[in-house]
Every structure is written in C-alpha cells, then in structure tokens.
Amino acid sequence: MQNAKRNIALLVAAILSAPAMAGELGVLKPIIQDNDAVMRARPDGKGQAFVLEQVKQGKLYEALQHEAHQGFTRTMLALDSLAMQVAGEPQGQTSWLMLALEDGGFARCGFWLQEGGKQRWLNECMVDLVVDQDSIADGSFEEIYAHEIGHVFLRRLLPNLPQGYSRTPHHSFSVTDQQTALDEGFATHFQAIARRFTHNQRLLAQDAGVEYKPYTPLWLSNLDRAYRIEGVRQNWFVHQQIAPSGAEDGIARRELSTMFDRALLKNPAQMLASEGFDATVFYRYTAAGEGGAALVKRYEALFRALKALNAQKLNTDTPLVPALAQTLSGLSKADGDRFVQVLMDTSYGALASPQLAARAEALGLPGRVGDGEAFVPALKAVRKEMAEQTAAAQARPAMLAEHIGPALWLLHPTLKALGGFQNDAPLAINLNTAEREHLMALPGIDAARADRLLSARKQKGAFVSVSDFLASAQLDARDAQAIEQMAAAMQAAGAYPRD
C-alpha cells in the first residue's frame, strides 16, 4: 500500500513538474472484411470483441496527436495515466482511441490487436468514437472524448459498479437509477470541465453563444449536450421537471422535459438517480482552480476514493454518491469535508434534512417573483441551519444517505420505456422516484390517488417497501396483487445492461 501511494505521488509530482507530460494516445481502426468490422470471440467467452490495427500516420492521426499534446485532451490523458496508477494497472499502458465507423461513443475494455498478420489479445480499455477533421477543429472531439474517457476512468477505478434497473434512456435531464446516474454523471461532468479549460477558439465561441447553427439546437441530442454544460453550471437538475402539455405519452413528456421549476426540489432518491445532478456535484468539486497539472492533482483524492469504494460490497440499493462521500472522508478529512459541502450546497441540504428541503422550497416561491419581504428575512435563518447541518454531515457523512429510501422497482407488463419512442425496453418504475405520470400507469391509480401518494411520500419520506406503498395507495386486492406481480417480474428480469 505504501509503495502504491509513493508511486502515485511520484506520478503526480512528475505531472506537476512537467506540464507537457501525458499518457500516449494510441489510435486504432477496425479490420474491415465484406464491408463489416471483423469481430472475434473474447478469450473469456463473454461475447465478441473488435479486431483492430494501430494507425501510425495520416492527417487525421497527426491532428489527433496534436490534440494529445496541445489540446485539453492532453490533460485527460494525464488523468488516464493517474487512473491506471491508482487502479494498480501495469505501468506503460496506452490510452487507446478506436476510430469508429458508426455514430456514438463508447468505453470498451478488451480487443484483438493485429500486427504482422498475427492477433494478440489486449485486456485494455479504449474509447470507441467517430472522429473526423471537423470534429477536431470545432472542439467537439475534445469535449466528447473527455466524456467517453471519463467512463474509462470508472472502468479502471470502479469496475464493480452494479448495473441499475431503470430501462429509461439516459439523458442529462432524465431520472434513471443511481448506478446509471453515477456512471453517466461522472463522465458528463468532464464535458463541462473541457469547456472550462479548453483553448479551442471555436468551442469557446460556441460556449459564448457567438457560434451557432439555426435549428440544430432543437434536436434532442443537441439539447442534451447543451444541458450537460449549462444545466450543470446552473444546478438545474436538483429541481423538479415540469411536464409540458401535449397529446404525446405523458411519461415521455415528463422524462424528456427540459423545463425545471426553480421553486421545487427533487426528492433525495430522484437527485441521486439524475446524471445531471451527479455531474453538477463532480463539476463543482473539481472545476475550481487552475487547469492542466493542477487539475490532475485535484482528481487524485477522488480517484483514490473511487478505488476504495470499489472494495466495498455494492448493490442496487447502495447510496453511491453518499457512500463515496463517506469513503473520501475516511481517506482525507479535508477532501471529504469539501465533497460533503458540495453535496449539501448542490442539494440545498435535502440529502441530509427534509426540513432544509422544505425551507428551500419555501424560499423559492417568493424568490421567483421577487418578494423581498418574504425572502430576505427567511434567508438568514435557512443559511444558519444549512451551516449547522453541513457541519453535522461532515462529522457523520452517513446521514447523507438516510432519506433516500430503497429502490422499489416494478416492471410494467405492457408499457414500454418512453412509450417505445427511443427503445423497446419495458417500462420500469421505481416507486421512490416515480412522478405522477408513472404512478397513473399502475393499476387502480388515477390522478387524484397519484397526487395523494406523492404528497404522502413527500410528507412522510420514502416508501420503505412495496407493501408500505400499497398501504398508502389503499387499492383493492386485485390491483394490489397486480402491482406485487410487477415487483416480482422486475426481480426476475434483473438489472439492465447499458453496455
């Protein structure tokens, strides 16, 4: 353990003393046969993996190497070197980028490398991403690569992260499950970090709103990308979404809504199942200060905590971000206190205290209409209470997990996630994160009963079991049995792999 800590300290010191230092960016491309990428069975028998060859020349390769040495990508490669070291991986590994043939970006681990007519297995991680000269020139490569290699960091440091139960397609503004939210939120925050420290003039112009393309911002993926930056910066995702009116599926309108009520908060379970919320926490924790080597240094404690969290027994009910706060506090009181401070500030204290959540909403109502007579006197008192609760949470980080409640998942027998709009996965509903539209999809629950259930959950706290929910719902025996069958179907179906 002491040798590992010393090696990490030496690596960080080297980065600090030599700002140009970063890991190597190895570039790969698929072997193509009959217009398809060649795949080969993995040695462990768990599916297929790409057969790739290394790219070592060409204009695109040269542009990528320029980014690796001069762009923000250099910092991300240094962070990958740090992640490898903290994870205890063999030294000298390369940060690999596969030039994908299809849209999308993915973090993958394990591939066949073809050299001199022979193939050898490399059990190493890579980013699978579509790249061209335009995406490098406008900074989108720099930003999206930062997101995808963020997933690689988690694969190195937290390989035991459980899969979640939500089937909802993830977006910055979606509520899914804690496992998806941590995975995607951690990766997403690097997009905001890239914008914070980029030197790409076109990306800076886009960030300032002076470079834009009409109509493209209306498309869902572009909305999502914009919210990954501005929503994170402005802490939008802590607030409840407003479902826009329309004839479309009510659940889809709710889950794809990009409107937030700044006077209402999500409950703790919803916050921690929101990748946008998690991204905001990680961004606020790491973004303050200088970039480059100083930024790498700020990630050292966080990486250590992720590695230590991996050694714990994690399951689908583990409160992941609060558990990370507790782990970080155990490794470094100063770093843990700062992380807890960020969690408290970002959640308006709701993770630790339902009373603080109620006070925040009570401030939000007069605040949004500029009623100073109601807002100002209450502000001093709530800040005092926040300081007291934050100190209590820093002394005992476990209290951040006490109001989340268990994940109570139901698998709907007929409905599809988002009405089948983006995938054909069945609709999965967590009773402690469900909104009005989700509850109304359950047997025997109309709008009035859904509202009563939401009110009971807000006033009394999270449901502790499906039976507790059914007692509050007061359904007849047939409808109650149908919901119990949905719970059993969810357990039988298991978690949802998002690889």
191 token code pair? 């997009």
Q: Which residues of the chain have pLDDT under 70?
A: 1-22, 247-248, 419-420, 422, 499
> Do the beta carbons of residue 232 and residue 189 sit within 8 Å?
yes
Q: What digits encode the pLDDT tens for the residues 121-140?
A: 999 999 999 999 999 999 99
pLDDT at residue 6, as a whole number:
59
pLDDT at residue 197, as a whole number:
97
pTM of the full structure: 0.94
254 token code pair? 């709710």
pLDDT at residue 249, as a whole number:
81
Which sign does the torsion angle of CA 337, 458, 436, 401 carry?
positive
> Do the beta carbons of residue 38 and residue 50 sit within 8 Å?
yes
pLDDT at residue 20, as a whole number:
41
Instruction: Report the C-alpha gap between 109 and 115 in whole angstroms.
Output: 19
111 token code pair? 């591939």
> Do the beta carbons of residue 140 and residue 222 sit within 8 Å?
no
Instruction: Report the C-alpha gap between 463 and 145 in whole angstroms.
Output: 40
> Do the beta carbons of residue 167 and residue 428 sit within 8 Å?
yes
With CA atoms as reference, report the closest residue to 96 among 12, 137, 155, 15: 155
pLDDT at residue 7, as a whole number:
57
Query: What are the CA-CA distances from residue 454 to residues 200, 262, 266, 438, 443 (Å)?
Result: 46, 19, 12, 11, 16
Q: What digits encode the pLDDT tens for the residues 257-296?
A: 999 999 999 999 999 999 999 999 999 999 999 999 999 9
> Do the beta carbons of residue 328 and residue 220 sit within 8 Å?
no
Any idea what DSSP says for residue 175? B
Instruction: Report the C-alpha gap between 350 and 335 in whole angstroms.
Output: 21
Which helix H or strand E contains 110, and what residues bound it?
strand 105-115
What is the distance, to the nearest Å, from the Cα of residue 287 to the centroid of all Cα atoms in its chain? 16
pLDDT at residue 13, as a whole number:
56
In sequence order, the β-bridge partners of residue 54 are: 28
What is the distance, to the nearest Å, from the Cα of residue 5 to the centroid of all Cα atoms in its chain? 28
pLDDT at residue 16, as a whole number:
45
